[in-house]
Amino acid sequence: MHKNQIAYWWCQIGGWTFYGLTLFFFTWVFHMQLTTMFALRILLDVSLGLLFTHLLRLAILKLNLLPPIFGRQWIFLFSVALFTCIAYSFISSTIVEWLRLYDPKIKATIPERFFLNVASDSPIILVWLSIYYIWHYFENTRNTKIDSVKMESLVKELQLKTIKSHINPHFIFNALNSIRALVDENPERARTAITELSNILRSSMQAEKTETSTLEKELNIVKDYLELEQIRFEDRLRVEYVIDEDTLDQQVPPMMLQTLVENAIKHGISKQLNGGVVKICSDFTDDHHELVVENTGSYNYENNPDGFGIASTTSRLKLLYGNNASFSIKNLSNGIVQAKVILPVTALSFSK
């Protein structure tokens, strides 16, 4: 049994037991006669309360009425709670009449007993419902804070790993060597390359400061990166862009696109004797923002099951968007690897 289920049953049984003991306590305090019939009535109230509040919880879960709820959900919740109070009072009145758990001298009719039970027992059900919802609101707040802490930790980890990948011999030394070769041959291009490298490093340092960035800004970083790589690969690297301009203001996780493109170069183009193509696409598809990076090569899951690019992209999307975003990577039939990110669309693009 899940630990939340165990905690629920402990609270449920403990709460209703406490309610029953409270009734016995006040009976003793006010010197009321504690008869067998009165004890059975308390036992009946506690048992039915335990049963009907559990049924109320099942109805809340079935109808997806857990907090936070909005609009018509409040009407459904009110209806379910009212039905529970009425059913609880009706069953209680019927059992009391059937077992004759009442004083014959002051016998009330079933309708009278029913309305008295509705008036006396409904507040108990509503108190239970209030406690249940307050607990869930606190639980949601706690989970939100935990997710926020996880997101901050992941972004910082991404920043450090991204910077590390940029300053290792795989990229930074090759870029510097390429720039050095251009100093005499093409000084103007060398100066531009230094600016491109500076832009990439600056963007890496700023990655932890924001959760999202515009696609246009991220695309500019990627273009700087690819310009530097083309100095090294020359004709072996061909780049294609298929970008819907309306997607440029879409929000994306910072450095995510850069990571995917870098993986395409490292695991794809660099391993091809004749090089290949890196294609970056951005478009709206089925009310989502679809971001695709394709490269010449093949993807082998067994050799790279938990690669940093894949793991970081999947984790960030999960924390930022929950189930509203997804990431996939696969081999296409024409010798192309496709990495695809599906993101929710921000309303700004539709206002254009």
pLDDT in tens, 246-298: 999 999 988 889 889 988 988 889 888 888 999 999 999 988 999 999 999 98
Average pLDDT (329-336) is: 89
Q: Out of 94, 117, 147, pick the residue that ends a domain.
A: 147
Token reading at 88:
């609880």
Beta strands 276-285; 213-214: pairing state: unpaired
> What is the per-residue pLDDT for 336?
93
Same domain (yes/no): 113, 217? no
Residue 133 lies in a domain: yes
What is the per-residue pLDDT for 104? 66
Separation between Cα atoms, residue 118 and residue 163, nearest integer Å: 66
CA-based angle 193:194:198, to the nearest 5? Answer: 115
pLDDT, mean of residues 297-324: 74
Give the C-alpha separation, 224 to 86, whole Å: 69
Q: Say what the pLDDT of residue 352 is.
A: 43
Together in a domain, 127 and 198: no
Task: Please name which of 351, 309, 352 lies closest in space to residue 329, comparing C-alpha atoms.
Answer: 309
- Which domain does 51 fall in, by range? 3-147
Quick one: 311 and 235 in the same domain? yes
- More confident: 87 or 348: 87
Same domain, 234 and 291: yes
So what's the pLDDT on residue 286?
A: 87
**Average pLDDT over every residue of 298-311:** 66
Is the CB of residue 226 less than 8 Å from the CB of residue 237?
yes
d(CA 241, CA 275): 17
pLDDT at 324 over 50: yes
Instruction: Kindly report which listed range (8-22, 172-186, 228-242, 245-259) carries the lowest average pLDDT score.
Output: 172-186
Work out the mean pLDDT of the chain and round it to a whole number. 81
Instruction: Say what the pLDDT of residue 328 is.
Output: 93
pLDDT band at 351 (very low <50, low <70, confident <90, very high): very low
What are the beta bridge partners of residue 342?
A: 290, 326
Q: Length of the chain, please?
A: 352
pLDDT score of 337 more than 90: yes
User: Residues 48, 91: contact at Cβ < 8 Å?
Assistant: yes
Mean pLDDT confidence for 22-43 = 80
Whether residues 207 and 143 share a domain: the answer is no
Taking residues 74-93, what's their average pLDDT?
89
Do 199 and 316 have their domain in common? yes
Q: Which residues of 24-43 are buried (b: 16+ CB within 10 A; e: fewer)?
A: eeebeeeeeeeeeebeebbe
User: How high is the pLDDT of residue 174?
Assistant: 67
pLDDT tens per residue across span 281-295: 999 998 899 999 999
> Does 113 share its domain with 262?
no
pLDDT value of position 167: 43
Q: Are residues 118 and 183 in the same domain?
A: no
**Residue at which a domain ends, from 116, 147, 178:** 147
Share of the chain above pLDDT 90, in %: 22
This model's pTM is above 0.75: no
- The total number of structural domains in the chain stands at 2
Residue 82 in any domain: the answer is yes
Predicted pLDDT of residue 114: 78
For Cα atoms 88, 51, 106, give the angle at the middle one, nearest 5 degrees: 40
Residues 201 and 345 placed together within one structural domain of the fold: yes
Query: Cα(109)–Cα(107) distance, rounded to whole angstroms?
Result: 7
pLDDT for 100 beyond 80:
no
Each residue of 158-169: pLDDT tens digit?
655 554 444 444
Mean pLDDT of 138-164: 70
> What pLDDT does 66 receive?
83
For 135-148, what is the mean pLDDT?
A: 80
Considering 147, 181, 200, which residue would you say is the last residue of a domain? Answer: 147
User: Is the backbone peptide bond immediately before 187 cis, with ω within 30 degrees of 0?
Assistant: no
Cβ contact 192:223 at 8 Å:
no
172 and 140 belong to one structural domain = no
For 195-235, the pLDDT digits (tens) are 877 877 776 666 556 678 899 989 988 888 888 888 888 88
